[in-house]
Structure 1
């Protein structure tokens, strides 16, 4: 029986993983929608670990734990994983100020500096623990199985799936970052699909799901908490700033295009 499970085609393994992940994830999201939404930190943590738990279960079932990417990676890949979201966040801050969609908050206080420092250090590490749950499932199991199945454009397909996984909370709960949930969903989808290319590339060049988790955690903390410390928001910040803002979507989209055009053909298994 075990040998037959291991011999199942990768596309079938993908289907089983997606069915389990969406069944359990959307059940949790339903409870969140009926309650406090993403403000319920316990359910949010559980939701983020659902893809990882399903990925581990499927990898064990199909006798392919190696697919999860439990490798340390290298220093350069960790530097890129942290640096790309951090640089993006500071660029968003600069664009908001330059376009007068916000202004610089130059008020210096020990409380503000401490909050910012904790966010970019301890906060990123804690956020990466939550993000590891998603990354074991998405970049660990699913991305590897896409590669084994010979699916071209695996980063884009994974990004679309990853975006859809978030959609109920954007449309029906409090994960939308603007007063127009449909617009937030569109910009978020562009952002997350583009970010999937970035994280997918980092996972492939490092072989490490921990690198992917750091990139994910750094994104969450720098975009959502770190750069806003220095910003006085303008009236249209909800459309230009933040994770589902125009600037973040545009920066990640341009970077994803660059990676597709310049970097992916250097990989042994081309995902284009």
Structure 2
């Protein structure tokens, strides 16, 4: 895991420094988004079997939360924009300089470049040690810190951004639980919709604190609803022990688990 994170951070910094030379507008795509994908690529060269297993995902579940995940993104943006308009009397909107279809396609590609690292590699890797909520929070913290440039701004802005990153990670973690082949497109689609909404209707890129605070609060509300719904569903579907099972003697301690595969040795 340490190798993946090192490559993701260093490659993102290098790609960000390279972007001005390419003359690709950042509103179309940010090259930094491909840092996590490069980290996964290097890990795949060193541990091909383990990485293939992680990218394949868990045993297919019956989760039908994909559409709801994609609906959550515009709802978060609508709540943020509505709250901003109510507080300021102004509904901010921006007209992109490039064709919208080009921006939308590029944003999806860039979001998938990130999510192959965050939700398709790091999330299942952490799930071998932690539960869904803890793993999602951990990925969200890493994802937020990866946007290191936010810490150059106002502390409240940075705190609100971190809140948003962790909250969105929790939303995606619950929604993608039990998913296999569709994980990348669903995570990338949610991520791209959020980025497009922020580009069109928010002013957070200027460093303005209020839009980011409202966005963070909206993401936190969405994470709370997803956690309440998903945790409640997990409790309701848990098998109830029969009387015979309840009276059964305590089983002998399980044998010591096998050693975690080498790719997890870096986890502390």
* TM-score normalised by L of structure 1: 0.68
Matched, 1:212 2:192: no
Q: What is the CA distance between 1:96 and its match in structure 2?
A: 1.9
CA drift of 1:42 comes to: 10
Deviations 1:97-130 (A, max 9, x none): 222x132489xxxx97xx7xx75x6643431111
Match of 2:3 in 1: 16
Does structure 1 retain, via aligned residues, the 8 Å contact 2:29–2:106?
Answer: no
Q: Which structure's residues are more often helix, by fraction?
A: 1
How far apart, CA to CA, are the structure 1 residues paired with 2:163 and 2:173? 15
Q: Deviations over 1:138-165 (max 9, x none)?
A: 1011001001234670111111111111
Q: What's 1:260 paired with?
A: 227
RMSD: 3.9
Give the one of 55, 72, 80 matched to 1:68. Answer: 55
The question of 1:238 aligning with 2:213 is answered no
- Say yes or no: does 1:140 pair with 2:127: no
Report whether the alignment pairs 1:96 with 2:92: no
CA distance in 1, matches of 2:163, 2:75: 19
| Structure 1 range deviating more: 42-51 or 143-152 | 42-51
Q: What SS does structure 2 have at the residue aligned with 1:250?
A: helix
Report the CA distance shift for 1:56/1:47 in structure 2 as closer, same or farther (over 3 A): same
Could you tell me which runs of 5 or more consecutive residues in structure 2 were left unpaired when the two chains were aligned: 239-268
Secondary structure of the structure 1 residue equivalent to 2:90 = strand
Distance in 2 between the 1:89 and 1:42 partners? 17
Q: Which of 251, 259, 265 is the matching residue for 2:218?
A: 251
Residue of structure 1 in register with 2:110 after alignment: 130
Consecutive unaligned residues of structure 1, counting only runs of 5 or more, are: 1-13, 173-179
Pick the structure with greater CA Rg: 2
| Aligned residues of 1:81 and 1:211 also touching (Cα < 8 A) | yes
| Structure 2 counterpart of 1:165, from 122, 146, 151 | 146
CA drift at 1:196: 0.8
Task: State TM-score, norm by structure 2.
Answer: 0.69
